[in-house]
Structure 1
Amino acid sequence: MRYRLDVVARDVSEVVRFAGGWIVDRVMAGWDVTVLMYDVDDVRPLEILGVRIDDLAEALEEWADRPHPQTVAVAADLFAADERVRTGVLTALDQGMTEVTLWGERCPDELDSTVGSVRHQLSAAARAFKSQALAATADPQAGAVGDVETFRCGLAALPSVAADLTPAS
């Protein structure tokens, strides 16, 4: 059995900027990683990260029949703006079977008590692939690739398969 990570986001640039290194490290560890978005105009940066790309609208419609991932990563602003994404995240947290990871500038207030701050130390390969993916996005806000990516995470009730995320101090 391979572990699955579904990444839910608005645009390619934010996936690469906020979670690109973590995604690469998961892919290199053998995870099946799928990025779910409504519209993807340029898939090249995601191809550099080594992920599959699927349509978010279709995935949300088929969510009950879709195999549930061990981890779902969501852009916090999309959680706040899209009721279907919000419902899916809250359901995953309530059921406790899927680890929920969020990134972004601000964690939604309703999740403050159920998620904690975690970080991922990027491997050298993750930094290299993320750097190339950022260059492919041509995002002026991209900035330099650091050694760490920080998230908010609500852990599953079962022992975590995500040993690569450690509590942030």
Structure 2
Amino acid sequence: MSYQFDVITTDVADAVRHVGGLMFDRNRAGWRVRVVTDDTAHRRALAILGAYVESPGQHGNASREPARVVRAVALPIGELNSAAGISEIGSCVQLLLWGAGPDSGPARPRPPIRQHLSTAAQIFKTQALRDVGLDPRAGPYEDFWPGKSFSAAASSRSVPSVR
């Protein structure tokens, strides 16, 4: 069994700001961290965090894909319904969204998931933030909105907590 963490974004700097620490911590825990994007401007920042880049629709080398993979996905809340986002989500056990919180509507919104970052993640995220030209202060946590696990076949299971 192997683990893969996919970050889907159109803006690498935004992903570094919102998910950079989690990318680093998942990589250090043995996960493969892949960023799916057309943004080619900040590959060095992703390398600092231990992530590799693929273009949307690119499926990598099938021979290196393990037979059983546990996947988690993070993406901006605004890209959840885009065709590119949905086609890349595939089947995942956890879907994390970043950005402005979802509209509450008639139902009470779920509280955000607070991912505490290791000291090393904060240090490496600081370097990656500098590399993309953003304020290099990395806090001790990153907040995400829980999504639902998603399958292209319309699965609707709940997302397990990352606490």
TM-score bin, normalised by smaller chain: 0.7 to 0.9
Shift of the alpha carbon at 1:126?
0.3
Match of 1:106 in 2: 101
Question: Partner residue of 2:18?
Answer: 18
Change (3 A) 1:115 1:73: farther
Equivalent residue number for residue 29 of structure 2? 29
Superposition TM-score, scaled by structure 1 size: 0.73
Structure 2 partner of 1:151: 144
Q: Distance in 2 between matches of 1:48 and 1:17?
A: 13
Aligned residues with identical type, % of pairs: 29
For 1:71, the aligned partner's letter is A
| Structure 2: gaps of 5 or more residues | 60-66, 150-156
Structure 2 length normalisation: TM-score?
Answer: 0.76
Equivalent position of 1:128 in the other structure: 123
Q: In 2, distance between residues paired with 1:86 and 1:137?
A: 27
Check conservation: 2:5, 2:71, Cα contact below 8 A. Answer: yes
Superposition CA RMSD, Å: 3.3
C-alpha displacement of 1:69: 4.9
| 1:74 aligned counterpart, secondary structure | strand
Counterpart code for 1:151: F
Q: Which structure 1 residue ranges, 5 or more long, are not aligned?
A: 60-66
Task: Give the counterpart letter for 1:104 in structure 2.
Answer: G
- Give the equivalent residue in structure 2 for 1:41: 41
Aligned length: 150
Asked if the contact 2:49/2:125 (under 8 Å) is kept, the reply is yes
Q: Give the Cα–Cα distance (whole angstroms) in 2 for the partners of residues 115 and 55 of structure 1.
A: 31
